[in-house]
Structure 1
């Protein structure tokens, strides 16, 4: 553990992560200062009264006097003030780094553009079923530093974002994985997907075992080999899928028996890949395979992830609000085509903050397919202009849902899979998904 007493600490950002950092340093005998460029940060009322704060802009005097700066994930390190601090030799860290400095307990670290939370929760349930005392935190919504307030666990599972990896140096995961990398957060990574991918690759630094995605060679570490890695993939890898007489099975090369995916409650190829990744992680830490398969059979998936809200009058309403990038929306559309075998029209709700993404890849889904786009929010007009013949723009998601409700017919599917961040009109993707669920329930009860 590192001694922080006597250090001048500045914490930037007063959300859940920032508040957890404040509490961490107070327990270490350090009273930090807090900066938030917002005028009304969400956790201001919970800030202890002996902690100074500065709102609405950066306080450069505080920054440049600091020995240590702690940034929340939403803070862009490329901003001028933080670059000046770095040039002065001031250390800038994040909460994952602080957490890792405190622990000697095994860690599973998970990152990726899509599927992180599903895989994190799955491996947690598998470990618990095998008798482990497990702590879970990070990007999944529970600040990791708050885990230090609980009794020490036997295993920690961390969902880690690229933003968190930017300010993490001491992560030495027993098992680490990058599930996938697709175009995302390009407003934060101006050099493009390669810059974003390189940040993700930091999760493998000092890891003992790599769990690698065989379907994407660009995210496989150069030093990976049969001794330090376990792999998964659709058709290749230690854990993969096999098709036998039109039935799909999970194949584990270390285990003779194949497992029919008909036994699993969640559907869609993207979820099958998440399952393969979770099984590979479970295998990497030595969990019993049969126990992990039993966990799969009872797992119902996570809310806001390709969640079937209801099927009413032959119309399916699906909440996939967690799809905050294009690749995730493409996965949802692929799953509709391959799993639900719909016959009607897909009414796709798109919109929000597109983070400078290129939506042109969605064009291939309109060729010879009965699909309509309803686009809303900050980038709604931009998305709608891509396919104006099949697109409708509304200012809000609520307006789009009400219009769709008057048009849908039996065998149609309404899919909220926005391909965008939610913060232009909602608190977060959960808020967006919950509003959608309420609207759907109101429609079917009228």
Structure 2
């Protein structure tokens, strides 16, 4: 008799899990409480996979021998409580995929910086000719990648939600970039619960695996000392030159394996946070067997993800930068830290309990004008009313970019780095960034047309 797998959620992870389960011969039922996107529905139909949408039919779910749930479904959801009460094993798609993996895994997590680090690591391996797949929170689901073909390496961006659903997952190289308070509503408002979730990346490591972590992060430094971690530990630092991988104030130094040094100017990434991301990615690439020559070549050709310090255009000597992915204050720290100023800073949206004192000093030093983009801007205006000389607000992106250009002077940077979620005016941070990019490019054409 076939084992019955029920998959809750039919997005990228759920559909990927269904495709892999189908290939492995399981009986499958996919259930999504929301409407399923057409592209995923067509895949399920093409593979003759039974599914429902707009509801969870309990009778069709509770008879499963294994539940694979979307990382977005919290444990406190009623259907999950019932599955747990019935004693059914519940895992994440990433855990399911890992059970069939043949290659090795580089897994990257952290509150901030994980997308850039994941994309850079993947780029370095791919450009060096390694048979590598990109998976997890960026790219396709791990299960889908495994279903389609085998790879020698899988570079995975992994969230705390995904880590919560793992039981055997074990990366050959695990990277933890930082931990700052985030998603605490999911973790009973206890930071330690969130920390424990992130450190699940090390749980099954053996002495043949390597754990890369940022040693200057106070939480990581404390937790690494307090926890039994079986994997080899590789610390990276911006200040401690005794660590194998560090920044000496001029160049990044890689002192293990093949020793060499790289200046940030030899890469395409700006800012101190990207020194951390680059040191982590290069270290992972070295552990995967890449040479210095291959790494240098890859660093010179890397393009970062959209919406993360993405340089959109220069208009009248003013650079417009899309950092819409900066949805919390800690991300904005990185954005502000990437420029010496002056800045026209665009912020606002749905506040997530932000502590703006964390960036007050940097804002005071660098920001010429703050433009609030959101429906409710009182908290931002109150936080920076005595810090920034000029504060304006709008709910129109087209008006926003014209306002920003009027406020800026030649050599300034207009930085969209919102510190807030986007759901008051936009579908998501991508929509916010896309609208900003389009408005900037439209303004550029308009300005250039007038100058002819």
Give the match for residue 301 of structure 1.
304
Residues 299-351 of structure 1, C-alpha deviations (whole Å, 9 max, x = no match): 243332212112221211001122222211111101112xxxx3x4x222223
Distance 2:158 2:272 in 1: 23
CA distance in 1 between partners of 2:348 and 2:335 (Å): 15
1:230 maps onto 2:226 in alignment: no
Contact kept in structure 2, 1:106 and 1:154, CA below 8 Å: yes
Preserved contact between residue 105 and residue 153 of structure 1 (Cα < 8 Å): yes
SS in 2 for 1:65: coil
Deviations 1:63-108 (A, max 9, x none): 3333222111221122233123213211111110111100132111
Match of 1:321, SS? Answer: coil
Q: Which residue of 2 aligns with 1:415?
A: 415
Give 1:140's match in structure 2, choosing from 138, 141, 147: 138
Return the match for 2:277 from 274, 298, 305: 274
For residues 368 and 294 of structure 1, the distance between their equivalents in structure 2, rounded to whole angstroms, comes to: 36
Partner Cα distance (1:427, 1:46) in 2: 24
**Number of residue pairs matched?**
431
What is the SS of the residue equivalent to 2:84? helix
* 2:102–2:151 Cα contact (<8 Å) kept: no
Distance change (3 Å), C-alpha of 1:223 and 1:289: farther
Deviations 1:259-287 (A, max 9, x none): 33322222111111111111221233332
Q: Structure 1 residues 10 and 360 mapped into 2: Cα distance closer, same or farther (>3 Å)? A: farther
SS in 1 for 2:187: coil
* Cα distance in structure 2, aligned partners of 1:59 and 1:297: 52
Give how far 1:438 is off: 0.6
2:185 is paired with a residue whose SS is: coil
In the alignment, does 2:323 pair up with 1:320?
yes
1:251 is aligned, of 225, 250, 253, to: 253
1:10-409 equivalent positions in 2, closer than 5 A? 10-39=6-35, 41=37, 43=39, 45-46=41-42, 48-49=44-45, 50-207=48-205, 208-219=209-220, 220-221=223-224, 222-224=227-229, 228-236=232-240, 237-243=243-249, 248-254=250-256, 257-337=260-340, 342=341, 344=342, 346-377=343-374, 380-388=377-385, 391-395=391-395, 397-409=397-409
Q: Distance in 2 between matches of 1:316 and 1:358?
A: 28
Alpha-carbon distance change, 133 to 198 in structure 1, aligned in 2, over 3 angstroms: same
Q: CA deviation at 1:382?
A: 4.2
| Whole-angstrom distance in 1 between the partners of 2:366 and 2:288 | 44
Secondary structure of 1:157's aligned partner:
strand
Deviation at 1:162, TM superposition (A): 1.0
Aligned residue for 1:102, secondary structure, equals: coil
Distance 1:24 1:383, change over 3 A: farther
In structure 2, relative to structure 1, the CA distance for the partners of 1:235 and 1:331 (3 Å cut) is same
| Range with bigger deviation, 152-161 or 25-34 | 25-34
Q: Distance in 2 between matches of 1:216 and 1:292?
A: 26
TM (normalized to structure 1)?
0.87
Question: For residues 58 and 382 of structure 1, do their structure 2 counterparts lie closer, same or farther at Cα, with a shift above 3 Å needed?
Answer: farther
Is it true that 1:439 corresponds to 2:445 in the alignment? no
Unaligned runs of 5+ in 1: none
Task: State the Cα distance separating 1:204 from its structure 2 match.
Answer: 0.9
What is the aligned-residue RMSD (CA, Å)?
2.7
Alpha-carbon distance change, 349 to 370 in structure 1, aligned in 2, over 3 angstroms: closer
Shifted more, 144-153 versus 93-102: the winner is 144-153
Task: Choose 281-290 or 375-384, whichever is displaced more.
Answer: 375-384
Would you say the 8 A contact 2:7–2:31 is kept in 1?
A: yes
Cα distance change on mapping 1:260 and 1:431 into 2, 3 Å: same
